[in-house]
Structure 1
Amino acid sequence: MTTIKDVAQKAGVSVATVSRVVNNGPKVSKKTIAHVKQVMTELGYTPNANARALVTQKSSTVGVVIPELTDPFFASLAGGVEQVARAYKRQLLLSTGQISADAELKAIQLLIERQCDVIVVHSKFLDDDTLINLSQQIKGLVIIDRFIPAIAQRCVWLDNQEGGKTAARHFVTLGHQSFACISSNYQIEDPSLRLNGFRQGLESANFNLIAELTSFSEPTLRGGELATQKLLASNHQFSALFVYNDAMAIGAISTLEDNGFRVPQDISVIGFDDVLLSRYSRPKLTTMHYPIEQMAQQAAELAIALATNSHETINSQGIKHVPRLVKRESTASYTTI
């Protein structure tokens, strides 16, 4: 492997001069820069990004922390950050939080060790104080899908509670009077906000969500199946089902139909997130659109602005999004036979 010393020797300059050329340092003539770069090309020398970061205290990377790689939702998040990284000629560094506070912190620390000065973090398990302290260490740290008032200007977030309210209003508008909800059993903020919003939306229309018609499970296809089985076993009737995410909703629809219920003729179903799969399920899923790719792009832009002191582009209140109802085929007007 060609080293910086090899380049210096062939170019007839010092290692320090080659280092200045690599890092765009001062006090090097245009003629010397051109000569050193030509030698670098001839020898096939590629500067080490980590070594360069140690010298300049800056990185040519954008880091992103997501819980896992397999979920399409988080793949969209990472994809949105990557688009911005590419536009700024930066490389994407991806680290996973693995759905625990310890793993989230280690994922962030790994990026810090790589001299990453721009980091977008999806964190649900670290406490507010830890994230606030990290934001004081990392100029370009931005939190996505969470709002922390003390660092509001670093947050790009979704109003999950309003999403639940919107789903409830849609069911009421369709004439439904008996409701059920499937939620995630993960001990994070999103499920409780969506569920509380749904309850509030029903209460504002003088309806209630009874405890027996709220079921919890893992936020997966299988989780939706198991949660629906619990609802059916309760022997309580319902014609409208609000589900924490699209994967659970599709699992719920499959289970309902396996048990003789037609969707939406007998039971209407609303999911959440609007992932790609929701457009191809049968019936196509009515859901709450979560603009995660757009939010990820905004978070990456904000992180770069913070890291580079471009404060004119920063909103002191952060960036708030409201989910939008996408009407497809899994909801219909309530009718009695």
Structure 2
Amino acid sequence: MTTIKEVSELANVSTATVSRVLNGHESVKPANREKVMAAVEALGFLPNASAKALASNRTHSIGMLVGSFDGPFYGPLMHHAEETFRKHNLHLIVTSGQESRSNELNAIDFLRSKQVDGLIIHSDKLSDAELITVVERNPNTIIVNRLVPEIADNCVYLDNEMGGYIATKYLLESGHTKIACITGQLSKVDSRERLQGYRNALSEYGIEYDPLLTVEGRFDHEGNHEAAMRLLKRANDLTAIFCQNDNIAIAAYDVCAELGLTIGNDLSVIGFDNDSHSQHIRPRLTTIDYPIRDIGIQAAKALLNLLDGKTQLDIDNPLPKLIIRDSVVVRD
């Protein structure tokens, strides 16, 4: 196995210079960097990760917990975070919680056992108190899609309650008063927050919340067809539905087609997330934009600032934005 000493001898530089080049230090002269990299390539040298970690007190890896590897939400979140870290020669290790508190705790313990330099946590099941403990034990941690007031400086999030309010208010402003809501899993914080936003908008317009007009679906595809069918059979006089994500909205489209209802005419539908497919279904879906690309990049950049020892993380949390298309009709 090729050693750093052999690389240094071929490049005619010190072993310390080789180490600095391999660890990405900018203090190395360009000429020496070129000689080291040429020697590394010629000898086929592969640095020992454990040795590098001991030398630099860094593993050059980041741990990330997500809710699932499925669906259109987590893929872009992981992709844009990983893309940002790669530009800084860091690698991402990702695991999922699979909607289980014990799985989330085990996943965090696993990532810590890998001695990652920092953590990005998207948790569905851990309490605020548990997330505070995670940050206390691992200060280089960013919480995604969740605001925990005590650790607000470590949180990158979208205001889901405001998003639910904006969606419902748009339906109200369009003349709808019998508005239903199909939620995501109510075990998830963002589902409960979006539901609260829906209720806030109804209250503002003097409309009493009717629990019969709310049914629980899922953010993935499972069970949403049944939830939408149950809702429309339960309340056939409603004129609009706030779907808490675009997957749920697609299920509502399918059910309406089966029942002979025309979206954008007989029934108005608004979604949440602005997934890539929302502008390709017909009628094109009016929805709330969840800027997942920006969230992933913001989380990665905030963690990079933490790793650099900065106290000002420069987090610019985005606001929910209404994307108006064709699925909501204005009523007189």
The 2-side partners of 1:225 and 1:262 are apart by 16
Per the TM alignment, residue 237 of structure 1 is displaced from its structure 2 partner at its CA by: 1.4
The 1-side partners of 2:264 and 2:29 are apart by 73
SS at match of 2:322: strand
* Overall identity of the aligned pairs, in %: 34
Indicate if the aligned counterparts of 1:50 and 1:114 stay in contact, CA closer than 8 A: no
Indicate if the aligned counterparts of 2:175 and 2:330 stay in contact, CA closer than 8 A: yes
Indicate if the aligned counterparts of 2:213 and 2:235 stay in contact, CA closer than 8 A: no
- 1:327 aligns to 2:324 (yes or no): yes
Per the TM alignment, residue 235 of structure 1 is displaced from its structure 2 partner at its CA by: 4.2
Tell me the alpha carbon deviations over residues 37-74 of structure 1, each in whole angstroms, 9 at most, x when there is no partner: 65433220111334312332213233322111221111
The 1-side partners of 2:228 and 2:218 are apart by 12
Aligned counterpart, 2:285: 285
Ranges in structure 1 where 5+ consecutive residues have no aligned partner: none
Aligned counterpart, 2:85: 85
Given the superposition, is the C-alpha separation of residues 314 and 326 from structure 1 closer, same or farther in structure 2, using an over 3 Å criterion?
Answer: closer
Aligned counterpart, 1:163: 163
Aligned counterpart, 1:61: 61
Which one-letter code corresponds to 2:241 in the other structure?
Answer: L
Aligned counterpart, 2:297: 297
Aligned counterpart, 1:49: 49
The 1-side partners of 2:138 and 2:112 are apart by 8
Given the superposition, is the C-alpha separation of residues 224 and 10 from structure 1 closer, same or farther in structure 2, using an over 3 Å criterion?
Answer: same
The alignment yields a C-alpha RMSD, in angstroms, of 2.9
Which one-letter code corresponds to 2:184 in the other structure?
Answer: S
The 1-side partners of 2:102 and 2:55 are apart by 30
Given the superposition, is the C-alpha separation of residues 57 and 210 from structure 1 closer, same or farther in structure 2, using an over 3 Å criterion?
Answer: same
Given the superposition, is the C-alpha separation of residues 281 and 54 from structure 1 closer, same or farther in structure 2, using an over 3 Å criterion?
Answer: farther
Per the TM alignment, residue 333 of structure 1 is displaced from its structure 2 partner at its CA by: 1.0
Q: Map of 1:199-218 to 2, 5 A cutoff?
A: 199-218=199-218
When the two structures are superposed, what TM-score results if normalisation uses the length of structure 1? 0.87
The 2-side partners of 1:23 and 1:171 are apart by 55
Aligned counterpart, 1:275: 275
Aligned counterpart, 1:258: 258
Aligned counterpart, 1:177: 177
Which one-letter code corresponds to 2:91 in the other structure?
Answer: Q
Given the superposition, is the C-alpha separation of residues 131 and 228 from structure 1 closer, same or farther in structure 2, using an over 3 Å criterion?
Answer: same
The 1-side partners of 2:30 and 2:85 are apart by 29
Per the TM alignment, residue 22 of structure 1 is displaced from its structure 2 partner at its CA by: 4.6
Aligned counterpart, 1:247: 247
Tell me the alpha carbon deviations over residues 126-158 of structure 1, each in whole angstroms, 9 at most, x when there is no partner: 122222222123232100100111111000111
Given the superposition, is the C-alpha separation of residues 57 and 260 from structure 1 closer, same or farther in structure 2, using an over 3 Å criterion?
Answer: same
Given the superposition, is the C-alpha separation of residues 49 and 283 from structure 1 closer, same or farther in structure 2, using an over 3 Å criterion?
Answer: farther
When the two structures are superposed, what TM-score results if normalisation uses the length of structure 2? 0.88
The 1-side partners of 2:166 and 2:183 are apart by 16
Which one-letter code corresponds to 2:181 in the other structure?
Answer: C
The 1-side partners of 2:31 and 2:320 are apart by 56
Per the TM alignment, residue 82 of structure 1 is displaced from its structure 2 partner at its CA by: 1.8
Indicate if the aligned counterparts of 2:157 and 2:318 stay in contact, CA closer than 8 A: yes
The total of aligned residue pairs comes to 330
The 1-side partners of 2:107 and 2:51 are apart by 21
Per the TM alignment, residue 24 of structure 1 is displaced from its structure 2 partner at its CA by: 7.6
The 2-side partners of 1:33 and 1:217 are apart by 56
Tell me the alpha carbon deviations over residues 298-330 of structure 1, each in whole angstroms, 9 at most, x when there is no partner: 111111111211224446xxx533211101111
- 1:223 aligns to 2:256 (yes or no): no
Which one-letter code corresponds to 2:277 in the other structure?
Answer: L
Per the TM alignment, residue 100 of structure 1 is displaced from its structure 2 partner at its CA by: 1.4
Per the TM alignment, residue 185 of structure 1 is displaced from its structure 2 partner at its CA by: 2.8
Aligned counterpart, 2:40: 40
Which one-letter code corresponds to 2:247 in the other structure?
Answer: A
Aligned counterpart, 2:140: 140
Ranges in structure 2 where 5+ consecutive residues have no aligned partner: none
SS at match of 1:273: coil
Indicate if the aligned counterparts of 1:65 and 1:107 stay in contact, CA closer than 8 A: yes
Given the superposition, is the C-alpha separation of residues 45 and 266 from structure 1 closer, same or farther in structure 2, using an over 3 Å criterion?
Answer: same
Which one-letter code corresponds to 2:317 in the other structure?
Answer: K
SS at match of 1:221: coil
The 2-side partners of 1:155 and 1:247 are apart by 26
Which one-letter code corresponds to 2:330 in the other structure?
Answer: S
The 1-side partners of 2:74 and 2:122 are apart by 9
